[in-house]
Amino acid sequence: MERILFIDDEQMVLDGFKRLLWEYRNNWEMEFALSGSDALRMIELHPVDVIITDIRMPGMSGLELLEQLKQNENHRNIPVVVLTADQDRTLKRKALEMGAIDLLNKPVDKEDLVARIKNVLQLKHYQDIVIENNKALEKQLVISQKMDLVGVMASGAIHDLSNLLAIIVGYSSFLIEENMLDKIESTSMEKIRRAGDKASSLVNQILKFSRLDQKLTTINVNEIIDDIVSILSPTLSNGIHIKWGKPNEAIYIKSNAVKLQQVLLNLCINGIQAMSDSQGFLALSAKRVGQETVCIEVMDTGAGMDNETMKKLFTLSFISNEEGKKTGLGLFAVKHILDEYKGKIEVESEQGKGTTFRVFFPLFQQ
Ligand SMILES: Nc1ncnc2c1ncn2[C@@H]1O[C@H](COP(=O)(O)OP(=O)(O)OP(=O)(O)O)[C@@H](O)[C@H]1O
Ligand SMILES: [Mg+2]
């Protein structure tokens, strides 16, 4: 059953809610708290799906409660409906700016209350699905980056292997064909050659397979960035906004869509992570530069970087074994992908101001 928490400093108001929603007691589990701090304790013990809170309360006000919820990683996604008897529009606007999902006027009308609760629960349901999907996606990103890394190392090794096998097969064939061996030696050499041949074809199969996912397609850059924005938007905390300066014309490049998405997601997630105080914006833009080049820009107003960090940005030096989200593989994978698909990257950063990454691709003329 979905849980709703009502908060008001007057017992009478809480009793009123209980009466109004009596017929829904089997649909929703309803909890009541007389103060913001009681409410926080209750949520800590048992999560809720919606909070309906008064604004003016002694001790912690509704807005202060809202602020505390938004700062808490576990609670920031609980939808909060703010109740107010006030005609004070500034207060109402403030509540919405701080992340309240809806406002309700006192005295509360039953139909109105029920309709809003249903709406908010529905929204919460969709939001939960999106958040789950995003978590799965991020996990997938980390895994595919690890695979990329293994791929980079393996493909180098496989190339060498293929060359070495060519030498083994070549020399053994030469010795057999030139009749330089006696019968026993020649039988053994034939075995070496066959084994070498078999190994060669195996290695070639692996090489072929590793080329499979390098498929190039014509990509509309605007569409890819639309996708990125809709993937990221639901995961942002309230103070962080995405600006997408979508150009009027479609811009095409020839690349691998999955890999390009991986590049942009990495840059955006880094930018968001750099806004540790959960304030600021991430600005995305795309444009043609000259006749032949496309530039995609990812700019953030985060912490920026010092020179030391900038120097080793695209290397493997950030790899950490810490259990958790960060692997330190992100920009290394980005660079590797760009090298593979004729892309270039540059970065500008200032500590305390923010960072801009620019990615360049050859323009594809339709
Ligand atoms: N936009 C940015 N603003 C500030 N620092 C950044 C930014 N992008 C990258 N960095 C710095 O560069 C480091 C390396 O980034 P990279 O994406 O390679 O790894 P990560 O983000 O630490 O881990 P992962 O991407 O695997 O989760 C980051 O830890 C951070 O210190
Ligand atoms: Mg990263």
Read off the tokens for 105. Answer: 């006027």
| Closest Cα to atom 10 of ligand 1 | 270
CA–CA dist 239, 195 (Å, integer):
63
Q: What is the DSSP letter of 363?
A: B
CA 52 to chain centre: 30
Which run of H or E residues covers position 362?
strand 354-362
CA distance 103 to 89: 11
In the prediction, which pLDDT does 16 show? 94
What's the CATH fold of domain 217-362? Answer: Heat Shock Protein 90 (3.30.565)
Q: Which of 270, 316, 327 to mutate to test the pocket of ligand 1 (most atoms within 8 A of CB)?
A: 270
Ligand closest to Cα of 322 equals 1
Q: Check residue 213 and report its DSSP letter.
A: T
> Residue 212 pLDDT more than 60?
no
Please name the residue ranges forming H helices in the chain: 11-20, 36-45, 62-71, 89-97, 110-177, 183-212, 221-232, 257-273, 307-311, 330-340
Q: Please give the pLDDT value at position 38.
A: 96
pLDDT classification of 75: cutoffs 50, 70, 90: very high
For 42, residues 6+ apart whose C-beta sits below 8 A from its C-beta are 5, 31, 33, 48
| Predicted pLDDT at 329 | 78
* pLDDT at residue 180, as a whole number: 84
- Higher local confidence (pLDDT), 213 or 75: 75
- Do the beta carbons of residue 7 and residue 39 sit within 8 Å? yes
pLDDT digits (tens, 9 = 90+) for 24-60: 999 999 999 999 999 999 999 999 999 999 999 999 9
Q: Nearest ligand to the C-alpha of residue 311?
A: 1
Tokens of 6: 């009502």
Nearest alpha carbon, ligand 1 atom 27: 326
- Average pLDDT value for the chain: 89
Pick the CATH number of 2-108 from 3.40.50.2300, 2.130.10.10, 3.30.70.1380, 3.10.580.10: 3.40.50.2300
Task: Convert the pLDDT of each residue in 79-94 to its tens digit.
Answer: 999 998 867 788 889 9
- pLDDT at residue 7 above 80? yes
Is the pLDDT confidence value at 14 over 80? yes
User: Is there an atom of ligand 1 within 6 Å of 330 CB?
Assistant: yes
Dist. CA 158–CA 153, nearest whole Å: 9
> Who contacts 321 (Cβ-Cβ below 8 Å, separation ≥6)?
none
pLDDT of res. 210 = 62
Q: Where are the domains of the chain?
A: 2-108, 138-211, 217-362
Averaged pLDDT, 114-131: 91
Residues in contact with 277: Cβ distance below 8 Å, sequence separation at least 6, in sequence order: 239
Contact 212, 256 (CB under 8 A): no
pLDDT band (50, 70, 90) for residue 350: very high
Predicted local distance difference test score (pLDDT) of residue 322:
52
- pLDDT at position 89: 84
User: What's the rounded Cα separation, in Å, for the pair 68 and 62?
Assistant: 10
Please write the tens of the pLDDT for every residue from 125-164: 988 888 888 888 887 788 777 777 777 777 777 777 888 8
DSSP-assigned beta bridge partners for residue 214: none
pLDDT tens, residue by residue, 260-316: 988 999 999 999 999 988 889 999 999 999 999 999 999 999 999 999 999 989 887
Token digits for 93? 């606007």
Does 363 have pLDDT greater than 90?
yes
- When pLDDT is averaged across residues 332-358 and rounded to a whole number, the result is 93
The rounded radius of gyration (Å) of the Cα atoms in the chain is 30
Q: What sign results for the dihedral spanned by CA atoms 165, 168, 170, 176? A: negative
Q: pTM for the whole thing?
A: 0.60
pLDDT given for residue 315 in this prediction: 82
- Kind of pairing between the strands at 280-289 and 240-245: parallel
318 lines ligand 1 (CB under 6 A): yes
Between 297 and 329, residue with greater pLDDT: 297
Any atom of ligand 1 within 6 Å of the Cβ of 354: no
Ligand closest to 315 (CA) is 1
